[in-house]
Amino acid sequence: MEIDLFSVITEWLPYLLGGVVVTVGLVASALIIGACLGLPMAIGQVYGSRPVKYVIGLYVWFFRGLPVLVLLFMFYFTIFPLLDPNIDAFVVGAVVLGLRGAAYQSQIFRGAIQSISEGQMTAARSLGMSRVMAIRTIIIPQAVRIALPGWSNEYPNILTDSAICYAIGVAELLTRTSQIVAQTYITMPIYLLCALMFILLNLAGMRVIAYLEKRVAIPGFSGGSHTGIV
């Protein structure tokens, strides 16, 4: 088999890079959905009434207990067709990864909120703040910063999980990789190229998150150990 590997790769590289864009879009929307739902859920789980806690607990149990693949099939073949028969697979993938991420992220945020001592809440209340105001201005700004190291672990998890969207045909990196393999009959080099891209995405994302962590850090606050926070 005489195929010029280099020319094949240069020919297909733009297509593969398009997959990188889709993957990044998938991961970014999943992270954003996850954070937007996860933080309120964490607050609900710590400060909410009993039924609220129960419902959120059930949600977390459901989404953490099921494999991504089953969730994707469930939403793609059963739940979303009820809403809109022509739903785009990308939307399903992003929503499923986001809802699942929310379950995980809520636990990260919950741990962070619980690590802030109750005395702060009491102090805020004694200063005349309402509970909502205390949560919004005292608890959340600290909790989000404490949660960042744990939250940064969410990124590689969602990145690797995003590849599972291959199963419902989202044109992300892995899907395009297997399309190229099917077209060119070049297998290992293309797979390894795909692996390299995932690893680079992973490293690049972690860099961005590390930068973010530094940006929002308050001097003298946080920094690795959370034991200093009283």
Partner 1 sequence: MSFEAAPFIDFCINTLFPALADGLLITVLLVLITAPFGLAFGVLLAVGRVYGKSYSHWFCRLFVGFVKGCPLMLLLFILYFGLPTIPYVGITLDAFTASVIGFICCNSAYNSEYVRGAILSVKEGQLVAASALGMTKRQAIMYIVLPQALRRAIPGLSNEFIYLIKYSSLAYMITLVELTGAGKLVFSKYFEPGVFFVVGIVYLALITVTTVGANALEKKYAVPGTQKR
Does position 225 interact with partner 1 (CB under 8 A)? The reply is no
Q: Report which of 197, 196, 113, 107 is spatially closest to residue 153, judged by C-alpha positions.
A: 107
Report whether 154 contacts 148 (CB < 8 A).
Answer: no
- What are the backbone dihedrals phi and psi of residue 224, each rounded to the nearest 5 degrees, phi first? 75, -85
Nearest-approach distance from CB 141 to partner 1, in angstroms: 27
Does position 24 interact with partner 1 (CB under 8 A)? The reply is no
Nearer to partner 1, 80 or 151 (CB): 80
Stretch that binds partner 1, among 38-46, 111-119, 154-162, 212-220 (CB under 8 A): 154-162
Nearest-approach distance from CB 194 to partner 1, in angstroms: 6
d(CA 134, CA 131): 5
Retrieve residue 216's tokens.
């929002």
Report whether 170 contacts 22 (CB < 8 A).
Answer: yes
How many other CB atoms sit within 10 Å of the CB of residue 213? 16
Report whether 19 contacts 175 (CB < 8 A).
Answer: yes
Kindly list the distances between the CA atom of residue 160 and the CA atoms of 11, 26, 108, 146, 190, in Å, as whole numbers in the listed order.
26, 11, 19, 24, 18
Nearer to partner 1, 55 or 167 (CB): 167
Binding residues for partner 1 restricted to 71-130, rule: CB under 8 A:
71, 73-74, 77-78, 82
Nearest-approach distance from CB 69 to partner 1, in angstroms: 4
Query: Looking at 164, 168, 171, 209, which residue binds partner 1 (CB under 8 A)?
Result: 164
Nearer to partner 1, 109 or 166 (CB): 166
Does position 181 interact with partner 1 (CB under 8 A)? The reply is yes
Contacts with partner 1 by CB under 8 A lie at 61-62, 65-71, 73-74, 77-78, 82, 156, 159-164, 166-167, 174, 177-178, 181, 187-188, 191-192, 194-195, 198-199, 202-203
